[in-house]
Chains A and B, each alone.
Chain A
Amino acid sequence: EAQVTQNPRYLITVTGKKLTVTCSQNMNHEYMSWYRQDPGLGLRQIYYSMNVEVTDKGDVPEGYKVSRKEKRNFPLILESPSPNQTSLYFCASRKWENTEAFFGQGTRLTVV
């Protein structure tokens, strides 16, 4: 089954404790991205990657890091989480520019 898998689905952590949210896709897609969803703001892009070892900032990259060492994986790293990063996070992948994006189930992160 074609899918994007994120882990964990739920995470509560404390300020400053490094964490990683994993994302993996099995569709051999070139393009992957991370979004955060906040009430009233819709989805905002954090980072994206056009292929292995090619990443770039989206609209809200501050406080986040990503890496793309393998085509299928695109982890999101919060080196020092803060409460304003409490949000619902989605990973997405697609084959090419302007094709359908497939989304993971989301990770609800709470930073206390």
Chain B
Amino acid sequence: AQSVTQPDIHITVSEGASLELRCNYSYGATPYLFWYVQSPGQGLQLLLKYFSGDTLVQGIKGFEAEFKRSQSSFNLRKPSVHWSDAAEYFCAVGASGTYKYIFGTGTRLKVLA
């Protein structure tokens, strides 16, 4: 069965520091992978997606993610965090043929001034 694991429930970083949020998935075929961000009181906004091709994908707001098939990972990175990045981040995998997205449990990011 497909699954998505975000091992870090909470992460705190200082403004200006680098960030890496982890995402591991379990899926038999090549997955379709997404990162979404949820700001307080808001819906989910797509940060970036991976369908195929270059394994390093660029997204909005300066975020990037790297697909590593050998590690079943799709970690999200940002070189310098801004206070406005404080939010909850969700990794999701698209299960081909089922129309289903499977979401991780989310990582809540806190940014210290």
Contacts and interface: CB of A to CB of B under 8 A. Distances in A.
Interface of A: 4, 31, 33, 35, 40-45, 48, 50, 58, 90, 92, 97-98, 100-101, 103-106
Interface residues of B, number: 23
Interface string B39-65: 001111110010100000000000000
Contacts of B105: 40-42
B40 to A, nearest CB: 11
Nearest to B45: A103
Given A41-B105, A42-B106, A31 B46 contact: no
11 contacts: A33-B99, A35-B103, A42-B90, A43-B101, A44-B103, A58-B100, A92-B44, A97-B94, A100-B46, A104-B43, A106-B42
A66 B78 CA distance: 39
Given A42-B90, A43-B103, A106 B96 contact: no
Contacts of A42: 90, 103-106
Given A31-B99, A98-B51, A103 B43 contact: yes
B34 interface: yes
A105 B9 CA distance: 23
A100 B90 contact: no
Contacts of A33: 99, 101
Given A42-B90, A43-B90, A100-B49, A105 B101 contact: no
Interface in B98-112: 99-101, 103-106
A22 B105 CA distance: 25
Given A42-B106, A43-B103, A45-B100, 16 more contacts: A4-B43, A33-B99, A33-B101, A35-B103, A41-B105, A42-B104, A43-B44, A43-B101, A48-B100, A50-B99, A98-B96, A101-B101, A103-B36, A103-B44, A104-B43, A106-B42
B32 interface: yes
Contacts of B90: 42-43
